[in-house]
Amino acid sequence: MGEISCSTEPINGVLSRSSSSPPPSGYRKSCWYEEEIEENLRWCFALNSILHTGSTQYQEIALFDTKPFGKALVIDGKLQSAEVDEFIYHECLVHPPLLNHPNPKTVFIMGGGEGSTAREILKHTTVDKVVMCDIDEEVVEFCKEYLVVNTVAFNDPRLDVIINDARAELEKRKEEKFDVIVGDLADPIEGGPCYKLYTKSFYESTVKPRLRQGGIFVTQAGPAGIFSHAEVYACIYNTLRQVFKYVVPYAAHIPSYADTWGWVMASDSPLELSCEEMDLRIKQRVEGENKYLDGTTFSSVSTLNKVVRNSLFNETHVYTEGAARFIYGHGKNEL
């Protein structure tokens, strides 16, 4: 769904027009990446350069050097991560479940090929072992080569990188349990490789049995804006409510996504960490300093606005393979 176009535009930015000829005096040449967010809504930004484009068995992949957001990883035409603000997404995904757990030692990442989720988990001094299971070896190798910010994480001896389908890998590890399981999967899109890993049956029969007593599951859950939360966020939340006793939805604005993004944390043990206790655990357990997340911030992002809160409360749809919901877009393997 992503497109690259070049145009000439005036220096003052008032007008732009397509052109393949050299720009006239007072104009500059720009290349733009454009992503179709909805049928009638597109989001675009200027590029410094195209670093890589390619295709794997499962996905289309590209890395751009963008003017507003630095290096940006794009998979199946959807922006996955941008250099300047990926810390918002990854800190929100990782730190709330690990900090709510009294002593997280083992963590399983579903997906996470970029390496940023592992990077944040490995900041926790309690963690002894991280299994990162991504289905696409080419994406993992690509990110190792190009995303140098995660080099230290990929070389950490506590990290075990497995190339496999996350469901198959978890089902294979019948005797192994984890303190935290993290769903850092691509969005559920038609033709994409991941939508079956958002279903009630998967959470019930595969994820939950692999959690230790007191274990916590967290997943990224798609756009969570005023309008966009109805795509998948609300039903992922409701689906997890059918499986776990305690479920906490939260959301934060991510500039490069042009939207608010959502996560859902779930457990059969209470998730009631106070701001003060979260800050204390960050100080005691986390190496370095978080850029975004602390106790006060989590209190804010877990206080959803009235529209989204009411929608989640009233959601009845349960995510199944036969009744899946998708965000706008299409995967490589859609028939």
Distances (CA, A) of 77 to 47, 51, 200, 245: 15, 15, 27, 36
Q: Taking 70 as the threshold, does the pLDDT of residue 48 lie above it?
A: yes
Q: Residue 148's CB: how many other CB atoms inside 10 A?
A: 11
Q: Are 46 and 31 in contact (CB under 8 A)?
A: yes
Task: Write out the two tokens for 29.
Answer: 């040449």
Cα first-last separation, the chain: 15
Question: Quick one: which of 88, 80, 91, 83 has its CA closest to 149?
Answer: 83
Percent of the chain at pLDDT > 70 equals 90
Per-position DSSP letters for 260-326, written without gaps between them: EEEEEEEESS-----HHHHHHHHHHHBSS--SS--HHHHHHHTS--HHHHHHHHH------STT---
Calpha distance 83→101 (Å, rounded): 29
pLDDT digits (tens, 9 = 90+) for 62-118: 999 999 999 999 988 889 999 999 999 999 999 999 999 999 999 999 999 999 999
Burial class (CB in 10 A: 0-12, 13-18, 19+), 268: middle
Task: Write out the two tokens for 85.
Answer: 């603000």
- Cβ contacts of 286 within 8 Å, gap of 6 or more: 95, 123, 124, 125
Question: What pTM value is reported for the model?
Answer: 0.90
Calpha distance 223→227 (Å, rounded): 9
Identify which has the larger pLDDT, 284 or 190: 284
pLDDT digits (tens, 9 = 90+) for 252-277: 999 999 999 999 999 999 999 999 99
Enumerate the active-site residues.
184
Question: Quick one: which of 206, 312, 205 has its CA closest to 251?
Answer: 312
Task: Write out the two tokens for 198.
Answer: 């958002």
* pLDDT for 194: 83
